[in-house]
A = this chain, B = another copy of it.
Amino acid sequence: MKSELERSSGKTQRGRRLMDALEPGTAERVTSSLADLDPDLARLVTDYAFADVLGRPGLGLKTREMLTVAALTALGNAPSQLEFHMRGALNVGVSPAELLEIVIQMAIYAGVPACMNGLTAYRAALAAFEGSDAR
C-alpha cells in the first residue's frame, strides 16, 4: 500500500496545489480532517476530484469554478461547499459581478428559491473575500 502512495505522490501534489489555489490552506485542512477518518479518503479528494478531474487541461480553473458554482447553486444540497467554491472562484479571478450573474442565471434553470439560496452564499463569500483582501 505504501508504494502505491509514493507512486501517486506527484498526482497528490498537483491536487493539493489546486486546492490551495482556491483558498490557501485548504489542502492541509481538508486532508488532515479526512485522514482522521480513513488513510485513503483524503486521496479521493486530492488525487481524484482535484488532480484527475479539475486538473484536466481542457478548461482553466477560473472557468471550472464558475461551472461548479452553477452546479452547486442549482443542486442546492451543499451550501457550505457552495460558499467555499464561491470564495475559490473569487480567489482565482472570477469577479464579484460575474459570480452574481451565475447565481441569477440559475433562477431560470433551478428556480427562484435556488437562486435566493445562492445569493445568501454569495453575500457570505463576498464578505469573507473582501475581509481577507483587506488583511
Which A residues between 32 and 81 are near B, CB-CB below 8 angstroms?
34, 37-38, 40-41, 44-45, 48-49, 52-54, 56, 58-59, 63-64, 66-68, 70-78, 81
A38 to B104, CA, bound (A): 10
Query: Are B56's CB and A109's CB within 8 A?
Result: no
A100 to B53, CA, bound (A): 12
Q: Does A114 contact B (CB under 8 A)?
A: yes
The chain A residues found within 8 Å of chain B, CB to CB, are 4, 7, 11, 34, 37-38, 40-41, 44-45, 48-49, 52-54, 56, 58-59, 63-64, 66-68, 70-78, 81, 97-98, 100-102, 104-114, 116-117, 119, 122-123
